[in-house]
Structures are given as structure tokens and as C-alpha cells.
């Protein structure tokens, strides 16, 4: 006889990891049709957000900001470069540092992207306050991961 999800500590439905994983997949699916016309994947969108917010960044800084490892980030940024949204160049002070900057096309894309959050609200059916609450809660989970040394 198995325990009910309410009493079973190993019930799938009881797992935070499962809920976060399913929520992440659901949100990426919400973003996909919004980003496709912009020729962006969700991870590429995250890189663009970092660049729109901070300006020119090193690959190391981008990796840290968007929580991607360099092995994943490098091909992603190369595809953004091929699309014409970013340019890569060696650092002026240190040739070992790869800097990424927005092209004029990438910078101009920000105006279009400003409508994305509103589209996400519409597509999810959640209110802006609900989505803000989710973001705050998940940010606390991420911070706990950093504090624990896993991020």
C-alpha cells in the first residue's frame, strides 16, 4: 500500500525540484512563440537582456549573470553574432578576455522586446502581481543555492 501524496515525502507532486522544473519548461514554452519572430531562443534572450541592461560584457560576466556555463554560452553567443545582434572582440587590456557588445541591430531590438513582458502576462493568464510573486520566490531559491555554494 502506498502513501498518499500528502503523506509521502517522496511523492512527485511533493517535490520542489519537480515543481520548479515543470514551471521552467512551461515558461520557456510561453516565451518560445514570442521570441521566434525575433529569431531568438530563450537562452539567447537572456543574454540579450543582460547586454541591454549592462552594455558590453565579458563572456565570464554574461555566464555569471545568466547562470550558464561557458561551454553552453560560447556557441549561443556565436549564433547571436551570426544573426547580427552582437559582436565579439578580444579585450583591449587582456586578449584572453572575450568581450560581447550589441550591434546597432541588437540594440534596436530592445524596443521590440519591451513588449515581451506584457505578452507573457497575456499568454499565461496570470496577473503581473502573481508573476512578480513567483519571480521573488524563485529568486530566493536561487539565492539559497548561491549561499549553499551550488551556484
Model confidence over 105-136: pLDDT tens digits? 999 999 999 999 999 999 999 999 999 999 99
Is pLDDT above 70 for 3? Answer: no
Pair 97, 108: CB distance under 8 Å? no
Determine the Cα–Cα distance for residues 132 and 127; give it in Å rounded to an integer.
9
61-108: pLDDT as tens digits: 999 999 999 899 999 999 999 999 999 999 788 888 899 999 999 999
What CATH class has 39-114?
mainly alpha
What are the CA-CA distances from residue 149 to residues 2, 18, 85 (Å)? 36, 21, 33
Which pTM does this prediction carry?
Answer: 0.89
Q: Residue 114's pLDDT is what?
A: 97
Amino acid at each position: 500500500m502506498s502513501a498518499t501524496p500528502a503523506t509521502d515525502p517522496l511523492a512527485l507532486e511533493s517535490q520542489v525540484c519537480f515543481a520548479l522544473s515543470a514551471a521552467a519548461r512551461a515558461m520557456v514554452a510561453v516565451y518560445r512563440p514570442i521570441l521566434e519572430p525575433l529569431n531568438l531562443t530563450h537562452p539567447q534572450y537572456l543574454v540579450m537582456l543582460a547586454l541591454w541592461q549592462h552594455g558590453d560584457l565579458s563572456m565570464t560576466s554574461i555566464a555569471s549573470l545568466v547562470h550558464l556555463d561557458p561551454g553552453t554560452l560560447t556557441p549561443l553567443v556565436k549564433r547571436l553574432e551570426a544573426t547580427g545582434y552582437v559582436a565579439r572582440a578580444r579585450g583591449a587590456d587582456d586578449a584572453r578576455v572575450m568581450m560581447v557588445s550589441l550591434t546597432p541591430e541588437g540594440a534596436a531590438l530592445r524596443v521590440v522586446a519591451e513588449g515581451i513582458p506584457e505578452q507573457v502576462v497575456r499568454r499565461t493568464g496570470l496577473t503581473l502581481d502573481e508573476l512578480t510573486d513567483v519571480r521573488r520566490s524563485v529568486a530566493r531559491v536561487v539565492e539559497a543555492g548561491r549561499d549553499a555554494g551550488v551556484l
